[in-house]
Amino acid sequence: MKSRAAVAFEAGKPLEIVEVDLDGPKAGEVLIEIKATGICHTDEFTLSGSDPEGLFPAILGHEGAGVVVDVGPGVTSMKKGDHVIPLYTPECRECPSCLSRKTNLCTAIRSTQGQGVMPDGTSRFSYRGKKIHHYMGCSTFSNYTVLPEIAVAKVNPAAPFDKICYVGCGVTTGIGAVINTAKVEIGATAAVFGLGGIGLNVIQGLKLAGADMIIGVDLNNGKKEWGERFGMTHFVNPSEIQGDVVAHIVNMTKRGADQIGGADYTFDCTGNVKVMRQALEASHRGWGQSIIIGVAGAGQEISTRPFQLVTGRIWKGTAFGGARGRTDVPKIVNWYMAGKIQIDPMITHTMPLEDINKGFQLMHEGKSIRSVVIF
Ligand code: NAD
Ligand code: AHE
Ligand code: ZN
């Protein structure tokens, strides 16, 4: 069949809207009509050429929602008409990682996913007879896409596609980093570095978890009001303070008889390795946990004095907020439907597929929180 898609033919070039060819679902796969897709900073990261796993040409996009329109042989958990969210972190429930209960990083299809192909080693997408790569196993910048059944979450059919697509990455990553990865407790102090589409969801997760002090850190003063909307209690713009942001946060969080400062939990939501170090060092001596969410480009490395870890700080990372997609994503959609979490205000811009490059532009300019393409 044909599908309208935004194709990344080359790194660093705008996406091109073309009609691609799409083969139907094979055994264990489902064909999905994508109704809406968000544009995440990770799409921009890969398009820019910074992603060591980046492949071109490819159909990017990993934050979608849509409807199952066909199923391949052997599919048991989905049927035509189901409303679904594609998962870049599948949940096979059979691999050693899934069975370990210690991680959400299912290994069932990770190697082929990283090679831009389906589990059988081939791509379902082509253009003028040439292969187009899948991206993060999702390729939601195509009106139709194919995914393995294990990489699809069935969700509440009453939920609006143009909002719940964001659960496919940003919402789940931010809230999950707080709940699943950091396991933040009531009364905690926290600092969130980078108040974009992910950082604001970390803030909303912290509020949900009952954190007392929620410090937002961003170079863009426009983000102060955004953070406050979701529960941020203090804002720091590192370019406007006297001295170092680490000392500033440590000072703000001093408490107890010994007056030792540092946040109980810090989160990097920038992808900047220098900020990752600041976040670690702004966490509390003895127990502070710093969670890396941001994705850094090829060749970039993190560093700190080992003494920071010797003295009890914990450096962790999280992918998809530690969420098990088929189990957790339907629950998060229902939290949204029940009014427990907000999504609507963060979707600042919507556009048709033809204007997808404007969505990337808005992200570059720091003008959007999330842009959503509606098919
Ligand atoms: P975004 O562009 O919407 O937001 C980034 C924010 O960081 C902006 O508000 C920007 O002003 C701020 N910022 C930039 N440099 C800063 C600095 N030096 N100090 C303080 N603030 C600074 O991006 P996003 O969509 O929120 O994504 C954030 C990061 O998370 C990206 O690296 C993205 O690739 C990554 N990500 C990771 C996962 C995961 O599973 N680990 C999931 C989604 C996104
Ligand atoms: N391909 C990159 C890493 C990109 C990355 O870390 N991706 C996150 C999701 S970001 C979503 O917006 C992730 O899930 N990582 C775990 C995984 O298995 O990819 C690189 O550096 O090679
Ligand atoms: Zn993402």
Domain extents in the chain: 2-168+343-374, 173-320
Q: Tokens 């999950």 belong to which residue?
A: 176
Neighbours of 1 (CB within 10 A): 11
For the stretch 337-355, pLDDT in tens is: 999 999 999 999 999 999 9
Ligand 1 touching residue 11 (CB < 6 A): no
Choosing from 105, 169, 198 the residue with most ligand 1 atoms within 8 A of its CB, the one to mutate for a pocket test is: 198
**Which atom of ligand 2 sits closest to the CA of residue 320?**
14
Burial label for 253, CB within 10 Å (0-12, 13-18, 19+), is buried
Q: Tell me the sheet residues that pair with 226.
A: none
DSSP state letter for 95: S
Whose C-alpha lies nearest to ligand 2, atom 9? Answer: 319
Contact 148, 119 (CB under 8 A): yes
**Which atom of ligand 1 sits closest to the CA of residue 220?**
11
Look up the CATH architecture of domain 173-320. 3-Layer(aba) Sandwich (3.40)
Angle between helix 273-281 and helix 245-252 axes, rounded to 10 deg: 30
Q: Return the amino acid letter for 339.
A: G
Question: What separation in Å is there between the alpha carbon of 285 and the centre of ligand 3?
Answer: 31
Question: What separation in Å is there between the alpha carbon of 78 and the centre of ligand 3?
Answer: 24
Residue 89: nearest ligand to its CA? 2
Residues of the chain with pLDDT under 70: none
Ligand 1 touching residue 223 (CB < 6 A): yes
Residue 109: nearest ligand to its CA? 2
Contact 91, 79 (CB under 8 A): no
| Nearest-angstrom CA–CA distance, 196 and 344 | 15
Residues with catalytic function: 40-42, 62-63, 92, 95, 98, 106, 110, 169, 370
| Nearest-angstrom CA–CA distance, 211 and 181 | 15
What is the model's pLDDT at position 314? 98
For the stretch 216-271, pLDDT in tens is: 999 999 999 999 999 999 999 999 999 999 999 999 999 999 999 999 999 999 99
Ligand 3 (single-atom ion) residues, CB below 5 Å: 40, 42, 169
Choosing from 37, 42, 181 the residue with most ligand 2 atoms within 8 A of its CB, the one to mutate for a pocket test is: 42
Contact 7, 55 (CB under 8 A): no
Ligand 1 touching residue 202 (CB < 6 A): no
Ligand 1 touching residue 293 (CB < 6 A): yes
Q: Which residues line ligand 2 (CB under 6 A)?
A: 40, 42, 51-53, 89, 105, 110, 169, 295, 319-320
What does residue 369 show for φ and ψ, rounded to 5 degrees? -95, -60
**Which atom of ligand 1 sits closest to the CA of residue 321?**
40
**Which atom of ligand 2 sits closest to the CA of residue 170?**
12
Alpha helices in 17-95 (DSSP H): 41-47
Look up the CATH architecture of domain 2-168+343-374. Alpha-Beta Complex (3.90)
Q: pTM for this one?
A: 0.98
Q: Is the peptide bond before 57 cis (omega within 30 degrees of 0)?
A: yes
What is the model's pLDDT at position 131? 98
Choosing from 39, 41, 193, 367 the residue with most ligand 1 atoms within 8 A of its CB, the one to mutate for a pocket test is: 41
Question: What separation in Å is there between the alpha carbon of 129 and the centre of ligand 2?
Answer: 29
Of 170, 173, 172, 135, nearest in space to 318 by CA: 173
Residue 41: nearest ligand to its CA? 1
| Nearest-angstrom CA–CA distance, 153 and 3 | 22
Contact 85, 30 (CB under 8 A): no
What is the model's pLDDT at position 153? 98
Contact 137, 29 (CB under 8 A): no
Residue 140: nearest ligand to its CA? 3
Question: Are the folds of 2-168+343-374 and 173-320 the same?
Answer: no
